[in-house]
Structure formats: structure tokens, C-alpha cells
Structure 1
Amino acid sequence: MKAWRVHENGEPLAAMRLDDVPDPAPGPGDLLVRVLAAGVNFPDALLCRGQYQIRPPLPFTPGVELCGEVLRTGEGVTGVAVGDRIISPAALPHGAFAELAVVPAAGVLPAPPALDDAQAAVMHIGYQTGWFGLHRRAALKAGETLLVHAAAGGVGTAAVQLGKAAGATVIGVVGGAAKADTAKAAGCDVVVDRHTEDFVAVVKEATGGRGADVVYDPVGGEAYTRSAKCVAFEGRIVVVGFTSGTIPTPGLNHVLVKNYSVLGLHWGLYNTKDPEAVRACHDELTRMAAQGTIAPLVTERVPLAGAADAVQRVADGTTTGRLAIVNS
């Protein structure tokens, strides 16, 4: 089969190589799946660079989430049958940017029938992250104001849709006019172009000086620092990631004086600490997809041969919505 592999760490376009490798075989408790589609995520770029919290041995195949068709089941697998369409995190070092993949049966979930392969592939991590961040961690309530950074990206558009579904007023921060259009399409009530506007002033004006009740921040750096200037009394800042490349150092005196919370979110921990919560979230997301409340914004469906370029563009921040690698 064909699979993208990283033999030496570096920028995705240089580090990823499309190789011919032997077909994998499922072990006990595993599934062999034909990869129908794979989501492209910023962590894929970090994996290529050797900067992710998990550093798989070289060579490895990137691609952290997939939608696939079950081809074979390993010994001891129950509840999943050949032919089932599933979604799953990939089992690194054998990631999703390949024609076939082996994944642990314990981590697979049924693909939502309302979504096509590309939408299903990109729903899992982004929407689970958004749901846990907004509901489990921040307890977002109807009528509150939600500030979403990188609101035109994959993680951001998911948070926007989930925020609107919860009854919040959503303010999205983007970089550029084209991204502003994407954020509006995702459902933002107010969109701020950080290149030309001060989001702190916009948030304060939109909320009558109160500030944002919840801040959803996958960017870090200056986005976090300035968010602390416009978070509301008893507001919550959800730290999702650091796509800016800068990890902020919050002043705890400021947290105390303004009486707000800083909440970390590492969604992957729920897979090991509370897998039942992940399944319950999936059931809720499947229901919302069936109702049309959420719909992953797949802006590009890229063939397997274009995976390295797609990961590089996501790393460079030049894309909007979600990119999916689709195997024909």
C-alpha cells in the first residue's frame, strides 16, 4: 500500500515522503480499515517537526484521525463488523495518511450517518475538543458571550457552531478578510479581523463593557494575553493549544484580581481517563449532525498524493475550515 512517512523531522512538505510499504495486519483487539478520509490537523505538522507531545519513532506515518471501512477484525474484537464505517483516532506511528490503517477496536466509533466520509473524518477531534472545552470545562450557558480565536480554522469553526448551538453570542477573531467570510459562514455573530481591528475593544463594545464569559483559545501568545483584558467577571479562558508558537505565562495576580478562571483542555486524556464521556459526547454530536445543528466545514478534499502540501498549508495558517485527505 501507499503511505506517507516521515524519515527525518522537519517542515511537512520536506519531511513527508510517499512510500510503498507492506499492508498492515490487525493484531488481537485491532481492526484493519480502509482509510476513506483523514483529517488534516495542526498536530500533524508538529509531529513532522518533532515538536508534538508524542514523538513516534522514525519513520512514522502522520495523520491523527480518520474515517474508514472495516476490512478485517483481530482476535477478540466484538461489536464491530466487516463493512462498518467508523471514525477513530489513528494509532501512531501508523497514522491515517495511508491507504490502510490498523486501529484499536476499543477507540472506534460509528461514523455519523448524516456526514460524508470527509466530514466524518474531521469531526472527531475538532468537535470533541470543542464540546469538552465549552461544556465540560467552561460550562457555557445560553445567553453568554463566547470569544473564539482562529474562528475560521478547523478547531475554531467547530467551536463557533457548538457555541451557537448552546445559545451563546459568538465573537470570532480571524486574520484577514477571506477568513472573516469563513467565520461568518460558520455562524459568528460578530467577526473581528485582528489585522485591522482591536478585538479587546470590539468585545467590550459588544458586551456593554462586561467582556466575554468564555474565551476559546487554540492560539496562545498575544491572543491569550489580550483575552485576559476582555474576559468577564467569573469568565473562563479555555486553553486549547498554541498555534502561534508562543506559550503564554499568565499572571496569577491578574487572575485573582479579575476573578476569572484559566482552564486547560487536553482532549486526548479523556480517551484514557474517561472513555465513557467520549462516547456520550459522540452520541450527542451524532444527534446534532442528524439535526443539521453542526456540519463540519470541509473546504478542501485533497487526494492522498497531496497530503504533504495540505499539512504544510495548515501549518502555515493559509487555509480556512477543514482539509481532508480522501482516498478514491
Structure 2
Amino acid sequence: MHAWLCTTPTGVDALEWTELPTPEPKAGEVLVEIKAASLNFPDLLIVQNKYQMKPPLPFVPGSEYAGVVRAVGEGVTHLQVGQNVASLTGTGGFGSHVIAPAAACLPLPEDFPLVDAAAFIMTYATSFHALMDRAQLQAGETVLVLGAAGGVGTAAIQIAKAAGARVIAAASSDEKCALCQSLGADATINYSSTDLREALKAATGGKGPDVVYDPVGGDLAEPAFRSIAWRGRYLVVGFAAGPIPALPWNLALLKGASLVGVFWGEFQRREPKANAAMMATLLDWYQEGRIKPVIDSTMDLSQLPAAYERMGSRAVMGKLVLTR
């Protein structure tokens, strides 16, 4: 097998395309031949040694991928050789093969394209867990999605619309706002050229959004929280902007608002039955056409450094997928 190997987490330039022994699956594991792997923001942080999970060196980055089961370990009965699966294991995706826990593999319907499958689990599981579980989103409520043209943002727009909510999508350019509108957003805000608070007042008649979905953090957090509706829920999803914001706690008091943490990975680990039910719902929604990953572009796996550069420049809308 071959893979992009990180021996020193000093950045993308330290990755090397390396030939490695093809491993054999142990009990409870499967060998997956990778056909597609998506690039997520944590994949950039992890090779810079900036992510909360720090795998032992050396490691193969690539958190999310889809492919074909080529071998199964002892005790694996729900997966068969030749079956298409998607998985999110944190590492291992940017190579030709990977060993994955069988329990972490999502069996795919035959008509599920592998490029879509590689861009499915992280964004839709995060967004569904955030909106439907943590925020308890109700039909008719208004959701503000920050960073709305990114992977989790585009997933959040689709899930909120499928749940019957009104969506205000906020992004950093007119092009990104147009993408959000094409996905069903009821209103858009370009926060690079428009005052976020004033735009939210206008878009909600002064009431503010019931739910704020925030994978960005940074300078957008405080104006968004100041704009939230009475009994609003502010979803802390991530910090793509870099800085972790410090919010005045009196804002939560004055609005009767909740600051709600979203950590899908830990939810998956602690509540596997609830997570499995959620993933089954998401597969149904995909097959019904209610959700579909937004694919920015596909690139060959050999172009991983260029793909990282595109992601680092904030140019990606939806998901960038590497194929082989």
C-alpha cells in the first residue's frame, strides 16, 4: 500500500508519499481499499500539531473516507468482502488502504456514490446532532448558520430546512451566499461587507435567531450571541476562525439563552445506539433527496498538498474530496 505519512507534525510540507506494508485486519477490524477521502478542517490542524487529538507518530492523516472492504478480521459478521463502506476514524484516510474498526464502518446502499459517501459522515452527523439533538430545533424556528458555505455549514442548511426551520445563512462572500441560497437558505448575510447585528435585526424583524450554529468562533461570536432571540440556543461547533471567543456571560442571562457545546465524536462514543439511529435517519434522508453533500471539487490523492493549500485559503465551498 501507499499513503501520505506524517513523521513530524510541522505542517503539510512534512508529508511524504510512502510505500508501506499492507496490513492484515485483526479481530473486529476490516481492511478497506480507499476510493475517496474528504478533506476536513481537523485534517489541516492535525498535521500542524494544533488539533486536540494528537496521534502517535508516524501517522497517516485523513479522518473521513469511503471505499471497498477487502478483508475482514475474526468476529466481523455484518460486513463482507466487496462491500462499500464509509468511515470516520480520525486518521488513515489519505492512503490506498486502511485498517478500520468494523464498528466504525457505515455499510452503504449500492447506489450511494463513494465521493458523496466520503463527504457525508462528519458534516451531517455533526450538524444533525447539533440542531436536532442539542438544540431540539422545532419547525418554524429561525436558525442562523455561520460559515454557511463550508462543509458543516452546507449540511446545517439542508438539515434545518428538512426540519421545517427558516434559515439565515451567513458567509464571507457574495459567491458563498449565492451557494447557500441555492441550497434553500431563506436569507443570506455577507458578513465581510455587512454589519451582522444590523442584518440580523432586519432579517428577523428585531426578534433574532432562535438557534445560532457556529463552527467559526472568532469575532463573529459576540455579535451573533448579542442578536439571539429570547430562549435562544447558541451551538458551539468549532473555531475555524482560529481564536476561541470570550463571551460576556451577562448576555446569556439577559436573553435567557443557552450556550450549548456540540461534540459529535464524544456523543458517538458515549451513546452508540443513539448515534446509529441518527445515521440511519441521515441515510434515509439522503436516499429521499432531502440532503446531499456539496462537493466543491475532486482532486487526485497525489495532489494532497495542493488540496491542503486550497482549504487553507478558505476557498473551499462544501467539501473537497480526494479520489484514486
TM-score range for the pair, normalised by the shorter chain length: over 0.9
Shift of 1:312: 2.9
State whether residues 112 and 120 of structure 1, in contact with CA within 8 Å, keep that contact through their aligned partners in structure 2: no
CA distance in 2, matches of 1:294, 1:224: 27
- Native 8 Å contact 2:299 2:323 kept in 1: yes
Instruction: Please list, as runs of the form range in 1=range in 2, the aligned pairs for 1:118-267 lying within 5 A after superposition.
Output: 118-267=115-264
Contact 2:218 2:241 in 1 (8 A): yes
Structure 1 window deviating more from structure 2 (152-161 vs 14-23): it is: 14-23
Separation in 2 of the partners of 1:150 and 1:114?
30
User: Residues 99-130 of structure 1, C-alpha deviation per residue, up to 9 Å, x if partnerless?
Assistant: 00110011111124453111111110100000
Cα pair distance change 1:70/1:80, threshold 3 Å? same
Alpha-carbon distance between aligned partners in 2 of 1:325 and 1:303, rounded to the nearest angstrom: 5
The C-alpha deviation readout for 1:178-200, integer Å capped at 9, x for no partner, is: 21222222221111111111222
Indicate yes or no: 2:313 matched with 1:313. Answer: no
1:65 aligned partner, one-letter code? E
Contact 1:150 1:173 in 2 (8 A): yes
Cα separation, 2, equivalents of 1:103 and 1:144? 39
The alpha carbon displacement at 1:299 in A equals 1.7
Distance 1:228 1:87 in 2: 36
Offset of residue 245 of structure 1? 0.5
Q: Is the 8 A contact 2:226 2:251 kept in 1?
A: no
User: Partners of 2:211 and 2:176 in 1: how far apart?
Assistant: 22
Report how many aligned residue pairs link the two structures.
324
Residue identity opposite 2:10 in structure 1: G
Residues 1:10 and 2:7 aligned together:
no
Partner Cα separation in structure 1 for residue 228 and residue 254 of structure 2: 12
- Which shifted more, 192-201 or 31-40? 192-201
The percentage of aligned residue pairs carrying the same residue is 38
1:40-119 correspondence to structure 2 within 5 Å: 40-90=39-89, 92=91, 95-119=92-116
| TM alignment of 1:247-326, pairs within 5 A | 247-326=244-323
Relative distance call for 1:244 and 1:101 in structure 2 (3 A) is same
**Correspondences of 1:18-37 after superposition (within 5 Å):** 18-37=17-36
Q: Summarize the Cα distance change of 1:11–1:312 in structure 2 as closer, same or farther, 3 Å threshold.
A: farther
Amino acid corresponding to residue 86 of structure 1 in structure 2:
V
Looking at structure 2, the residues matched to 310 and 291 of structure 1 have their Cα atoms a distance apart, in angstroms, of: 31
Distance in 2 (CA, whole Å) between partners of 1:246 and 1:160 is: 24
TM-score, structure 1 as length reference: 0.96
Deviations 1:225-244 (A, max 9, x none): 11111100000010000001
- SS of structure 1 residue aligned to 2:193: coil
Seen in structure 2, the aligned counterparts of structure 1 residues 69 and 280 have a Cα distance that, compared at 3 Å, is same
Post-superposition Cα deviations, 1:186-231, rounded to whole Å, max 9, x if no partner, equal 2211111111112221211111110000000000111111111110
Q: Distance in 2 between matches of 1:231 and 1:114?
A: 41
**8 Å CA contact retained: 1:33, 1:100:** yes
Cα deviation, residue 251, structure 1: 2.0
Deviation track 1:236-284 (CA, whole Å, cap 9, x = no partner) reads 0100000010101222222112210000011000221001111111111
Query: Following TM superposition, by how much is the alpha carbon of 1:289 offset from its aligned partner in structure 2, in angstroms?
Result: 0.7
Verify the 8 A CA contact 1:27 1:75 in the aligned structure 2.
yes
In 1, Cα distance between the equivalents of 2:315 and 2:17? Answer: 23
Tell me, in whole angstroms, the C-alpha distance in 2 between the residues paired with 1:163 and 1:145.
Answer: 9
Q: Distance in 1 between matches of 2:182 and 2:19?
A: 40
SS in structure 1 opposite 2:231? Answer: strand
Distance in 1, Cα, partners of 2:51 & 2:119: 19
Aligned to 1:234, what secondary structure does the other structure show? coil
Where structure 1 has 5 or more consecutive residues not aligned to the other structure, the ranges are none
8 Å CA contact 1:87, 1:109 repeated in 2: yes
Q: Which moved more, 1:139-148 or 1:184-193?
A: 184-193
Taking the aligned partners of 2:309 and 2:10, their CA distance within structure 1 comes to 11
Q: Could you say what secondary structure the match of 1:167 adopts?
A: coil
Moved more, 292-301 or 312-321: 312-321
